[in-house]
Amino acid sequence: MSYAADPDCLFCKLVRGEVPADVVHATDATFAFRDVQPQAPTHVLVVPRRHVPDVASLVAEAPQEAVALFAAAAEVARQEGLAAADGGYRMVANTGPAAQQSVFHAHVHVLGGRPMTWPPG
Ligand code: DGP
């Protein structure tokens, strides 16, 4: 299945620069910016430039871009001083409404800078 670019998608608008973003990292395939509702001292969203509704769809449609997404997330964590050797961070990919996904453009949350608890809510 192939997903067309969505002119109404919020994260597509951020990627295109039509909605302002606090950008922390960008590659040919990915774009990363600070979450507007941070849940931790560091809270960055890493998204593919390609419009697909969730990470599972990205793996199915463009697996090399899913690898690029996780590589970008790891690089963001390193940039933010959160690499595993520095204490670590959490990556979250809410997938579907039961998981509280609210923006249906694939994204990974990179969260850190405070102790994390388990299980997540
Ligand atoms: P999720 O619930 O997993 O779909 O995460 C979507 C996140 O997007 C949520 O943590 C809030 C964030 N968000 C929503 N609108 C905006 C926006 O306009 N700018 C930024 N930077 N983040 C946004």
Q: Which residue has 């600070």 as its token pair?
A: 34
So what's the pLDDT on residue 4?
A: 66
Q: For 63, what's the count of Cα atoms within 13 Å in the CB-facing half-sphere?
A: 1
Average pLDDT over residues 32-52: 98
Q: By the 8 A CB rule, do 58 and 2 touch?
A: no
Mean pLDDT of 42-50: 98
Active-site residue among 43, 51, 105, 107? 107
Check if the beta carbon of residue 35 is closer than 8 Å to that of residue 25: no
Q: Report the alpha-carbon distance of residue 53 to residue 98 in Å, rounded.
A: 15
pLDDT bracket for residue 1 (50, 70, 90): low
Name all residues whose Cβ lies below 6 A of ligand 1: 10, 19, 21, 33-37, 45, 94, 100-103
Task: State the Cα–Cα distance between residues 17 and 34, nearest whole angstrom.
Answer: 14
Cα(51) to ligand 1 centroid in Å equals 15
Structure confidence by residue, pLDDT tens digits, 12-30: 999 999 999 999 999 999 9
Ligand 1 centre and the CA of 103: distance in Å?
A: 7
Beta strands in the chain (DSSP E): 23-26, 30-34, 42-48, 90-92, 108-112
Tell me what the mean pLDDT of segment 20-45 comes to: 98
5 band by pLDDT with thresholds 50, 70 and 90 = confident
Name the phi and psi angles at 34, rounded to 5.
-75, 140
Q: Report which of residues 26 and 7 the model is more confident about.
A: 26
Mutate to test the pocket of ligand 1, among 39, 103, 107, 109 (most ligand atoms within 8 A of CB): 103
Average pLDDT for residues 37-43, to the nearest whole number? 98
Ordered by where they begin, the domains of the chain are: 10-112 (3.30.428.10)
